[in-house]
Structure 1
């Protein structure tokens, strides 16, 4: 990956005038890289907590899988309540950096609460504050990435950002693992370290990330265009939102998959916190290649068929095979799934919405995913409790096997490469 340290696509174009760029080389704005560093530090903070949350809740605090399912779903889904508000505010004020900053700062403050929360109600309150912060920041941050990148490079730009993000997501669980190795039951120490990384990330965002805006400077003094919700709720975005919701309902939390692996034998139980590291290492390996692939063959195509990786992870967790092989295969497939869906969905939503509604469009897609995954995690926790882990996993795997071709049919008009997809979307919007 060739990284050109430029702040905007226009500047990058100016700097490269007169130079013949080598085939296959791509440029990524320094703004994207700096945001990636902010996300890396923030993910060290959040994932060091997420890695021990299943054990902390079910082991240290002694709660049931129903309680964990609710909290895990809450952890994933509560941000959905404010994602659209964050994206909409960013679009209307045209201040994406500072809206994102508010979200990052709120999540950092929530880390203080972890030092004192020990009951179900207190944990719920802390998770609510943390996830509201995530909901506020995600769409404005992705809007800055989009405004700092060339349209044809969006998949690669999001791939670079998600790669840096997931370096932090790999370091966080490692940090938690070594703290628990040195200090048994050292959850409080993990929470203090989490707070420190969050504060550093917010500081870098405030000082070093420019407020790159979706509208051009010349248009800032002009009256803001009337926001048209139909650009989000109709046309091509309607199908993307429906597809995201269907697949999100069949995406159970990683914690459940890790608990299934833990129940298989001693290997996963011994290295439980490091399973998050394995997933994120796989993400690191696949994020940039799959982002580039999405730019070439179509973002909707990569997003849909990325769920085949999730299906494979479900099957690897339950089919008879050696515990070590099952764990490694499951983590690799989970990493590939996230690499093919996370940033790719944001790039797809940005591709199908106009600049003045870009933050809201990205937020709408992410909101649908977060809400559907909240329902999925909460429902799966209850279903596991009633029928057992193997039957529960087989059921969700069978449903996903049916859903993937159904969603591929639903998005059949958008499975082309980005340029062709945009033309198809414009035609559909005009009908």
Structure 2
């Protein structure tokens, strides 16, 4: 994927990617569609569980905001080193499908394990193992997507994948909501159905995803070496100006990114929403993400992926402001309904403008032999920053209360956006 350092600067700078397709839109490769199905089934499984956990742990089991922040951050931080391991093993063995499949299978096993655990600490252990599976699979999966299409179509390919992935995120909470209403045993029934969907995702991966062969490396004077082992690999990758800039931007912004679970809890408390409706909040976010993923991905191919990534965080800042502004007084059909819809819409657009777009920005920068490792380095930088951010936000909520903590996070995010935008403007080809 890395053609040269100068090519890296061209693609990650804000001007539109030169290879963006024009005219009739071609179908995405079969690998992208198959991986989209895998992610769809896996996200149905994952979101069935995560849709009910925040309120259950905080309101049901009495977990403090600081402890929940640690648990939420664990979903990011526990995967950090595993992302690098999964990326490096995939690149050295050229078995990206096998490594990704191992991660998906581990997550499926964890859904079954949830049926056997009851204490908060044991739930945390299972969730950490589940996130370990996610850490193993994410970089190899994204590398398979990136290797299956040309550089100018990366945004659209990742947009299609993320749209299918988000379809699962949309259906998962609805499935959990339906199971909780219909089943007698409640949460065990949710975990059982979740496990079935996770296993289905593994089966689709095994049967329909094809391993993509690495393209022959093109001679280029500044091409990064592809056969370096151990820690020097990371140092070699970080010498690429475009990747170095993306890692710094993702880490700085990730430190002030408030997790959606915290935003849902804030919505529930501000508007006094019934606990029965809490699992449906992620549905609104997922619906917007689903509708916006492909058009935003194509927009990023033309307008500039780094620019769209920064714009997505500005939308998250807007969601924080909506939660901070006092509710208007006076009669209303449903007090705060506009606030709920606004926050969920901005949050969905934030994910559409950042999730797949970040990987699409990094993909064309990396040589084929180090593509998975390079994506893992970027994901690790973002994951560690978000882990620290969740801990800090949980601590701020515990010490100051939810309002001041959110105000501090929003102020930090605005400062981080200003700094990264100014840095990008001064040195478009570097960090």
- On whether the aligned pair clears a TM of 0.5, the verdict is yes
Tell me the SS of whatever aligns to 2:70: helix
1:67, distance to aligned residue in structure 2 (A): 1.9
**In structure 1, how many angstroms separate the alpha carbons of the residues matched to 2:58 and 2:201?**
30
**In structure 2, how many angstroms separate the alpha carbons of the residues matched to 1:58 and 1:24?**
50
1:270, distance to aligned residue in structure 2 (A): 4.9
Question: Quick check: 1:243–1:411 contact (8 Å CA) kept in 2?
Answer: no
2:283 is aligned with 1:277:
yes
1:414, distance to aligned residue in structure 2 (A): 7.9
Q: Say which of 237, 244, 267 aligns to 1:238.
A: 244
Equivalent in the alignment of 2:46: 46
Tell me the SS of whatever aligns to 1:180: helix
Equivalent in the alignment of 2:401: 388
**In structure 1, how many angstroms separate the alpha carbons of the residues matched to 2:426 and 2:25?**
29
Matches within 5 A, 1:9-408: 23-183=23-183, 186-216=186-216, 225-226=227-228, 228-234=233-239, 235-267=241-273, 269-321=275-327, 322-408=335-421
**In structure 2, how many angstroms separate the alpha carbons of the residues matched to 1:392 and 1:224?**
44
Q: For the structure 1 residues 348 and 224, does the alpha-carbon distance in structure 2 shift closer, same or farther, using more than 3 Å as the test?
A: closer
Q: For the structure 1 residues 22 and 239, does the alpha-carbon distance in structure 2 shift closer, same or farther, using more than 3 Å as the test?
A: closer
**In structure 1, how many angstroms separate the alpha carbons of the residues matched to 2:200 and 2:363?**
29
**In structure 2, how many angstroms separate the alpha carbons of the residues matched to 1:229 and 1:187?**
42
Gaps of 5+ in 2: 1-20, 219-224, 328-334
Q: For the structure 1 residues 261 and 190, does the alpha-carbon distance in structure 2 shift closer, same or farther, using more than 3 Å as the test?
A: same
Tell me the SS of whatever aligns to 1:411: helix
1:335, distance to aligned residue in structure 2 (A): 0.5
1:88, distance to aligned residue in structure 2 (A): 1.0
Tell me the SS of whatever aligns to 2:138: helix
Equivalent in the alignment of 1:17: none
What are the Cα deviations for residues 38-57 of structure 1, in whole angstroms up to 9, with x where unaligned? Answer: 00000000011111111121
1:183, distance to aligned residue in structure 2 (A): 3.9
Question: Quick check: 2:226–2:367 contact (8 Å CA) kept in 1?
Answer: no
TM-score by length of 1: 0.87
Question: Quick check: 2:87–2:375 contact (8 Å CA) kept in 1?
Answer: yes
Q: For the structure 1 residues 185 and 279, does the alpha-carbon distance in structure 2 shift closer, same or farther, using more than 3 Å as the test?
A: farther
Gaps of 5+ in 1: 1-20, 416-423
What are the Cα deviations for residues 200-258 of structure 1, in whole angstroms up to 9, with x where unaligned? Answer: 1001101111011334499xxxx973454444222221121111110000012111111
**In structure 1, how many angstroms separate the alpha carbons of the residues matched to 2:243 and 2:275?**
42
What are the Cα deviations for residues 82-114 of structure 1, in whole angstroms up to 9, with x where unaligned? Answer: 001111111111111111011111111111211
Equivalent in the alignment of 1:411: 424
> Which stretch of structure 1 is more off in the superposition, 48-57 or 405-414?
405-414
Number of aligned residue pairs: give it. Answer: 395
**In structure 1, how many angstroms separate the alpha carbons of the residues matched to 2:136 and 2:215?**
20
1:409, distance to aligned residue in structure 2 (A): 2.2
Equivalent in the alignment of 2:9: none
Equivalent in the alignment of 2:222: none
**In structure 1, how many angstroms separate the alpha carbons of the residues matched to 2:391 and 2:185?**
27
Tell me the SS of whatever aligns to 2:116: coil
1:184, distance to aligned residue in structure 2 (A): 7.0
**In structure 2, how many angstroms separate the alpha carbons of the residues matched to 1:237 and 1:40?**
29
Question: Quick check: 1:49–1:190 contact (8 Å CA) kept in 2?
Answer: yes
> Which stretch of structure 1 is more off in the superposition, 50-59 or 130-139?
50-59
> Which stretch of structure 1 is more off in the superposition, 53-62 or 107-116?
53-62
